[in-house]
Chains A and B, each alone.
Chain A
Amino acid sequence: MKIHEYQAKQLFKAAGVPVPQGIVAKSAEEAAAAFTTLGGPIAVVKSQIHAGGRGKGTFKEHPTQRGVVLVKSAAEAAENANRMLGSTLVTIQTGDDGKQVNTLFVEQGLKIARELYLGIVVDREVGGPVLIMSSEGGMDIEEVARHSPEKIIAEPFDAVAGLYPYQARKMAYALGFDAIGVRNAEKFLPQICKFFVAYDCSMVEINPLILTEDSQLLALDGKVTFDDNALFRHKDVVALRDLSEEDPAEVRAADTGLSYVKLNGNIGCLVNGAGLAMSTMDLIKLHGGEPANFLDVGGGANEDQVTEAFRIILADKNVKAVLVNIFGGIMKCDIIVSALLNAYEKVGFNVPLVVRLEGTNVEIAREMLKASGRDIISATDLADAAQKVVKSLGA
């Protein structure tokens, strides 16, 4: 799960991680008032969407308006807010459709001496969290990793003990901080690492992390992704979820215990198991088709889930054929077929359906499919299934 920048900063602040002063604004009037309250000669008005690249992004309705702007008066804050709120921001990460901006964050302007990068992730090979920093703040870190990997420093830390002060100093000296900067890093870095663990994050990114002219460290941005599996113990985080930022079909699927990811092709797939579901997409592509989605109904695949899965797949207007690929293990194939047939009736299938079943009681299941009299194409193995579903598009 992801949250907005202003929400991340509220959490940072509560956890003792320094952030600039900022105020949320949902109207032009609020943006103007925020500018006045902050009291500075300058302020920054920032669009709140989950995607990155906001500073360089522009609005569909106002092609010259940027997603993040520097303003010098309350009136200027209001003018920009007027253009931004309710408009669609397109950035390199949103795709062509863009995202509607409903909230702005107005932040104090600061005297920035240096812009740095800070990221924390769990490194699978290290088997623990790693703090990553770079002198190249504000840049795409993957770009930095490709062109100047020597500018990236990484420090693994223990999830239980946290980042030790000596590790923080190591980073600060490597980045060339002055004495005050080192002292501030000794507080800032362990604090943000502690936050990462305490909130069960899978990623924290502060880009840029700024060093002000008086050597204060502040999080000028904040991107946080939480481990979905740990949300049960973070009710405060769940309350921050913004459903308008998520694909409605993916939300609906998750509510039914399905794992669904929308893609751009025209062949819908319904599969049990994540690995087999990914492989089924690969298979369709190998045979010249384009998968419309990833959908894992899980090991059980009961009638309610299959019905909902069909509805979600068919709600995608691009879908011109559907492939069901089930390896029935503990869940017997005949039980799955009766669920399939009932679901088929309920949703009123209107595109070709290819079914490939294997596993326990597969013979009975195939007979049931045949006897149903429904227009369902039966396939024997994976390659056969892929060929048939791709061919059904042309039929």
Chain B
Amino acid sequence: MSILVSKSTRVITQGITGNSGLFHSQQCRAYAAECQPGVDVFVGGVTPGKGGTTVDGFPVFNSVRDAKEKTGANTSMVFVPPPFCADAILEAADAGMELIVAITEGIPVMDMLRVKRGMAGSKSRLIGPNCPGVITPGIAKIGIMPGYIHKPGTIGIISKSGTLTYEAAWQLGRVGLGQSTAVGIGGDPINGTNYIELLEMFQNDPGTEGILVIGEIGGSAEQLAAEYIKSHVAKPVAGFIAGQTAPPGKRMGHAGAIISGGGGGAAEKMAALRAAGVIVSDSPGGMGDAMKKAMQKA
């Protein structure tokens, strides 16, 4: 079992005729083909104005609605450039995509506020933006993560960061733990899905036995996650927070990774998680061990 990505997942790529859109669609298709031989998981793409053409075997459609009707896709992976990305996400939601995974980095915050408002009441779930995507090892990956470092297993990963998630998956592999699903929620101040919703899904997923939460400085999503864990999560949880040495007022790469207004520091996030019973690693090198410790304690 897993969350978000299962055997019934069928994906189209918005922005499939762009360089990264096509490259990663090919990578995702290859990974899915290895996991589910003979099944087409990545079924096409959308680029307005290029409908009716094909690109490396992917049929291209003018609109998400068209693509959905013709391919039966239920999921969209979004690689549309930042100025047009908010519009692309809203189009996917309007077409009724169940899951929208937005990889694009650099979407203006105001655009994301409009997306949040536009999606209010929608049944679609948005993951990201500015994230590596979602992978259920052994089934499919929707995003830019290297597939082979993720092994099938029982740990759910929720992370704000891309390469740090790869690092975590690799460390989990070294201590013999695979993943049910790994989800990158993205490093932007406003995103589609936050820790709490995913904690709830992992708590309810019979295929997940433990959860690794990877946070970073900025905002208070990790503190809210800690409160939720305390009262709602029975499964063992381990965690790590990046940016313990970050100076206040400086944006550390991610738009959301900034300590401001006396809040958002790593120390308070780590303390909140520890108070909720989470095994928190001080070192980024200790994420795998912390998860193993949490599992043994449980």
Contact = CB atoms under 8 A, between A and B. Distances in A.
A278 interface: yes
Given A160-B117, A278-B246, A285-B245, A122 B189 contact: yes
A70 interface: no
A294 B247 CA distance: 10
A274 B221 contact: no
A279 B284 contact: yes
Contacts, number: 177
A133 interface: no
A107 interface: no
Interface in A330-361: 330, 358-360
A84 B236 CA distance: 60
A191 interface: no
A129 B190 CA distance: 11
A359 B250 CA distance: 30
Contacts of A330: 24, 27, 144, 146
Interface string B260-298: 011000100000000000000011110000000000000
Nearest to A294: B252
Interface residues of A, number: 56
Interface string B208-246: 000000101101110010000000000000001011111
A273 B113 contact: no
B114 A160 contact: yes
Given A122-B190, A276-B161, A282-B242, A329 B216 contact: no
A48 B279 CA distance: 48
B93 interface: no
Contacts of B166: 327, 329, 359
Contacts of B161: 273-276
Interface in B128-170: 144-146, 148-149, 159-167, 170
Nearest to B113: A159
Contact of B250 (A261, A272, A276, A381): A261
A275 B215 CA distance: 9
Given A282-B242, A286-B282, A274 B187 contact: yes
Contact of A360 (B82, B83, B148): B148
Interface in A214-264: 227-230, 232-233, 259, 261, 263
B156 to A, nearest CB: 18
Contacts of A230: 108-111
Q: Which of A197, A272, A382 is the most central at the interface, judged by chain B CB atoms within 10 Å of its CB?
A: A382
Nearest to A143: B262
A282 B244 contact: yes
B253 A296 contact: yes
A227 B262 contact: no
B113 A124 contact: no
Nearest to B108: A230
Contacts of B106: 229
B190 A124 contact: yes
Given A278-B246, A278-B257, A296-B253, A327 B114 contact: no
B187 A159 contact: no
Nearest to B187: A274
A98 interface: no
Given A124-B220, A330-B144, A278 B242 contact: yes
Contacts of A78: none
B113 A259 contact: no
B4 interface: no
Contact of B247 (A142, A159, A232, A263): A263
Contacts of A125: 219-221, 224
A381 B174 CA distance: 11
Contacts of B262: 142, 145-146
Given A200-B108, A276-B167, A329 B146 contact: yes
A261 B252 contact: yes
Contacts of A145: 261-262
Interface of A: 121-122, 124-125, 127-129, 141-142, 145-146, 158-160, 197, 200, 202, 227-230, 232-233, 259, 261, 263, 271-286, 291, 294, 296, 299, 327, 329-330, 358-360, 381-383, 386
Interface of B: 24, 27, 82-83, 106-111, 113-114, 116-117, 144-146, 148-149, 159-167, 170, 187, 189-190, 214, 216-217, 219-221, 224, 240, 242-247, 250-257, 261-262, 266, 282-285
22 contacts: A124-B189, A124-B219, A128-B113, A129-B113, A142-B262, A159-B110, A229-B106, A229-B108, A230-B111, A259-B253, A263-B245, A273-B161, A273-B164, A274-B161, A274-B216, A275-B161, A275-B253, A279-B167, A282-B244, A283-B284, A327-B166, A382-B285
Given A278-B216, A382-B167, 9 more contacts: A122-B113, A128-B113, A159-B114, A230-B111, A275-B253, A282-B243, A282-B245, A283-B283, A381-B285
